[in-house]
Amino acid sequence: MAWRTEEFGSCHEGEAGAVLADGSEPGPAYFDVGSGSYMPSTTEWWAYDGDGGRPVATGARAACSCGWRGTRLYPIDWAQVAEDRYHEIEGPYEDWATHIDDVEARQIPLPQDVSDLTSELEERLAKLADDAPLAALRAAAGVERATRWIASSAARQIQLDELSWSKVAEALGLTEEKARSQVLSYARRH
């Protein structure tokens, strides 16, 4: 997939997905790269040009790995694509970015002082990495130890509170599967 945020990673990867004339989304397009068992695939719009027996996409829309789909359809002009080898369809990215804004808005808010403190710590450690890299590594190791303990404690409390995985997922901006995996992984640490 083409678009990703550092915070959400694979839970919210986005792309301009192909849409066929009947409004359906085609299955993955596979590319034979020679011998071997691995065959790369994609569902991005550009792969559905009719070559190799693949269907022809008439439009593209924003798609996210979480299952969300944009509502706007952007027509594909294959003649234009043929002229401009690196042709991009701009609209789907903006639609996906709006989806990411919605995911962020549903996350549990951080207290402002904590948000400010983490931003300041990140800035100061980045500067320290430039000025004194060994000191920055020592500081980063300390931050890692603290966050491991905090994450473990928080994860165990989430389990004790018996929160639903859907609530946990929404609060963290993750899929239920990723939220469950993260909480269970943190709970086992320390």
SS3 139: helix
Task: Kindly state the tokens that stand for 105.
Answer: 């808005």
Q: How far apart (Å, rounded) are the C-alpha atoms in residues 26 and 55?
A: 8
Predicted model pTM: 0.79
91-143 confidence digits (pLDDT tens) = 999 999 999 999 999 999 999 999 999 999 999 999 999 999 999 999 999 99
Please answer whether residues 155 and 187 qualify as being in contact, where contact means their C-beta atoms are separated by less than 8 angstroms: yes
Could you say which DSSP state residue 132 is in?
-
Task: Kindly state the tokens that stand for 78.
Answer: 């294959």
Bridge partner list, 171: none
pLDDT at 80: 84
Q: E strand or H helix at 113, and its extent? A: helix 112-131
